[in-house]
Amino acid sequence: MKLTTRLQQEMKEMSALATRDTTVENREFWRNEMGKALTEIRQIYDDKLEAIRGEMNAYYNAKVRSSRRPCSSTIVVAATAASVQY
Protein backbone atom coordinates (compact mmCIF):
# COMPACT_ATOMS: atom_id res chain seq x y z
CA MET A 1 0.00 0.00 0.00
CA LYS A 2 1.33 3.40 -0.90
CA LEU A 3 2.11 5.90 1.80
CA THR A 4 -0.47 8.39 0.56
CA THR A 5 -3.16 5.71 0.41
CA ARG A 6 -2.35 4.58 3.92
CA LEU A 7 -2.36 8.17 5.19
CA GLN A 8 -5.70 8.79 3.49
CA GLN A 9 -7.09 5.63 5.11
CA GLU A 10 -5.86 6.75 8.53
CA MET A 11 -7.37 10.20 7.97
CA LYS A 12 -10.73 8.60 7.14
CA GLU A 13 -10.56 6.44 10.30
CA MET A 14 -9.64 9.41 12.47
CA SER A 15 -12.36 11.50 10.90
CA ALA A 16 -14.88 8.75 11.64
CA LEU A 17 -13.71 8.64 15.28
CA ALA A 18 -13.93 12.42 15.62
CA THR A 19 -17.44 12.64 14.19
CA ARG A 20 -18.94 9.58 15.85
CA ASP A 21 -22.13 10.01 17.82
CA THR A 22 -21.39 10.33 21.53
CA THR A 23 -24.97 11.06 22.54
CA VAL A 24 -25.29 7.86 24.59
CA GLU A 25 -22.02 8.54 26.39
CA ASN A 26 -22.99 12.17 27.02
CA ARG A 27 -26.38 11.13 28.38
CA GLU A 28 -24.77 8.60 30.70
CA PHE A 29 -22.24 11.18 31.91
CA TRP A 30 -24.91 13.80 32.63
CA ARG A 31 -27.20 11.22 34.20
CA ASN A 32 -24.41 10.29 36.62
CA GLU A 33 -23.56 13.93 37.34
CA MET A 34 -27.21 14.83 37.95
CA GLY A 35 -27.61 11.80 40.19
CA LYS A 36 -24.61 12.89 42.27
CA ALA A 37 -25.91 16.45 42.48
CA LEU A 38 -29.38 15.31 43.54
CA THR A 39 -27.90 13.03 46.20
CA GLU A 40 -25.83 15.92 47.57
CA ILE A 41 -28.83 18.28 47.58
CA ARG A 42 -30.98 15.65 49.30
CA GLN A 43 -28.32 15.17 52.00
CA ILE A 44 -28.07 18.92 52.64
CA TYR A 45 -31.87 19.16 52.80
CA ASP A 46 -32.11 16.23 55.22
CA ASP A 47 -29.40 17.73 57.45
CA LYS A 48 -31.19 21.08 57.61
CA LEU A 49 -34.55 19.42 58.18
CA GLU A 50 -33.11 17.39 61.06
CA ALA A 51 -31.64 20.54 62.63
CA ILE A 52 -34.98 22.35 62.38
CA ARG A 53 -36.79 19.33 63.78
CA GLY A 54 -34.43 19.29 66.77
CA GLU A 55 -34.96 23.00 67.41
CA MET A 56 -38.74 22.62 67.19
CA ASN A 57 -38.73 19.65 69.57
CA ALA A 58 -36.65 21.59 72.09
CA TYR A 59 -38.99 24.60 71.80
CA TYR A 60 -42.07 22.40 72.15
CA ASN A 61 -40.65 20.58 75.18
CA ALA A 62 -39.76 23.90 76.85
CA LYS A 63 -43.29 25.19 76.28
CA VAL A 64 -44.82 22.00 77.67
CA ARG A 65 -42.60 22.18 80.77
CA SER A 66 -43.47 25.84 81.34
CA SER A 67 -47.19 25.13 80.97
CA ARG A 68 -47.02 22.41 83.64
CA ARG A 69 -45.58 24.78 86.25
CA PRO A 70 -48.23 26.90 87.90
CA CYS A 71 -47.59 30.54 87.30
CA SER A 72 -48.19 33.17 89.96
CA SER A 73 -51.27 34.62 88.23
CA THR A 74 -52.95 31.20 88.32
CA ILE A 75 -52.35 30.95 92.07
CA VAL A 76 -53.76 34.46 92.66
CA VAL A 77 -56.87 33.70 90.60
CA ALA A 78 -57.40 30.43 92.45
CA ALA A 79 -56.99 32.15 95.83
CA THR A 80 -59.36 34.93 94.82
CA ALA A 81 -61.94 32.46 93.56
CA ALA A 82 -61.71 30.51 96.82
CA SER A 83 -62.24 33.64 98.89
CA VAL A 84 -65.35 34.68 97.00
CA GLN A 85 -68.46 33.37 98.68
CA TYR A 86 -71.54 32.56 96.72
Q: Residues 7-38, buried b or exposed e (16+ Cβ, 10 A)?
A: eeeeeeeeeeeeeeeeeeeeeeeeeeeeeeee
Tens of pLDDT, residues 7-36: 888 888 888 777 777 788 888 888 999 999
Tens of pLDDT, residues 56-83: 999 999 999 988 876 555 555 555 545 5
pTM of whole model > 0.85? no
Structural domain boundaries of the chain?
Answer: 21-68
